[in-house]
């Protein structure tokens, strides 16, 4: 986790839009903030709870995609196409293909599994989907944690894939980042002077991803 975050922080500024840059997740967490942990539901092992509608937290809505987009099956993963309608609105996917929320061994708590084309009931369906986050107000800073493959000391699992995050800001500008994943939990944070209004998360990880501990409303960085 520390190695990857440090690597991101050392990338040339050209790797990011001028209005979006990485900040350490723990720095954001140390400030007053909101956090969505998905722990309002009782802990349950996978497959956990199948969620067939958008997920709502104070100031945050999570869906499969934005209104105006379509999710396509791309080798078992969700691939989003289309132009999001404005203002951004997060909407669910087909029945059984939106989310699952379950206890995640890597996080040690509940996490959100974006569900892909194979559905929530199958292990190979949980984690292969897309997620779209929409904030009620533009955010100057956000953070989240992703889990890809579990630690693999014997080197027997497939190499982790990538996550593609597409950020939308209050000016209508779009910035897309392709993040290399590694085994275990990865923590990310970003700041934008223009204000982040939403983002989508897609992935190509063989084991799929889980999402947890979404930070927003980081008040000390507002303004």
pLDDT digits (tens, 9 = 90+) for 61-95: 999 999 999 999 999 999 999 999 999 999 999 99
Specify the pLDDT at position 97. 96
For 146-172, give one letter per residue: b (16+ CB within 10 A) or e.
bbbbeeeeeeeeeebbebbbbbbbeee
Tens place of pLDDT per residue across the chain (223 aa): 333 333 333 333 333 555 899 999 999 999 999 999 999 999 999 999 999 999 999 999 999 999 999 999 999 999 999 999 999 999 999 999 999 999 999 999 999 999 999 999 999 999 999 999 999 999 999 999 999 876 666 667 778 899 999 999 988 889 999 999 998 899 999 999 999 999 999 999 998 999 999 999 998 655 4
| 184 contact partners, CB below 8 Å, separation of at least 6 | 1, 106, 147, 148, 149, 150, 151
SS3 25: helix
| 191 contact partners, CB below 8 Å, separation of at least 6 | 20, 21, 22, 23, 140, 141, 221
Specify the pLDDT at position 183. 86
Distance separating alpha carbons of residues 92 and 88, to the nearest angstrom: 13
pLDDT digits (tens, 9 = 90+) for 118-148: 999 999 999 999 999 999 999 999 999 999 8
Distance separating alpha carbons of residues 74 and 56, to the nearest angstrom: 27
Q: Residue 201 burial by CB count (10 A; 0-12/13-18/19+): exposed, middle or buried?
A: buried
Instruction: Please give the DSSP secondary-structure letter assigned to residue 67.
Output: T
Specify the pLDDT at position 154. 65
| 114 contact partners, CB below 8 Å, separation of at least 6 | 64, 78, 99, 127, 128, 129, 130, 131, 201, 203, 208, 209, 211
CB 169 within 8 A of CB 2: no
Give me the chain's average pLDDT, please: 89
Specify the pLDDT at position 149. 75
Specify the pLDDT at position 171. 84
């Amino acid at each position: 986790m520390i190695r990857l975050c440090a690597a991101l922080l050392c990338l040339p500024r050209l790797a990011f839009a001028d209005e979006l840059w990485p900040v350490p997740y723990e720095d954001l967490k140390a400030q007053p903030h909101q956090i969505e942990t998905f722990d309002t539901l009782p802990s349950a092992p996978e497959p956990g709870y199948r969620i067939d509608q958008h997920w709502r937290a104070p100031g945050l809505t999570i869906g499969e995609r934005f209104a105006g987009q379509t999710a396509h099956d791309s080798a078992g993963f969700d691939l989003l196409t289309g132009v999001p309608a404005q203002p951004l609105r997060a909407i669910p996917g087909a029945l059984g293909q939106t989310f699952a929320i379950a206890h995640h061994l890597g996080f040690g708590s509940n996490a959100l599994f974006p569900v892909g084309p194979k559905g929530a009931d199958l292990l190979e369906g949980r984690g292969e989907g897309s997620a779209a986050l929409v904030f009620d107000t533009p955010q100057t800073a956000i953070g989240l944690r992703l889990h890809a493959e579990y630690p693999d000391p014997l080197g027997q699992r497939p190499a982790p894939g990538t996550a593609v995050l597409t950020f939308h800001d209050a000016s209508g500008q779009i910035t897309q980042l392709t993040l290399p994943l590694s085994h275990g939990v990865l923590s990310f944070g970003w700041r934008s002077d223009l204000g982040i209004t939403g983002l989508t998360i897609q992935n190509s990880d063989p084991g799929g991803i889980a999402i947890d501990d979404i930070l927003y409303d980081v008040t000390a960085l507002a303004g």
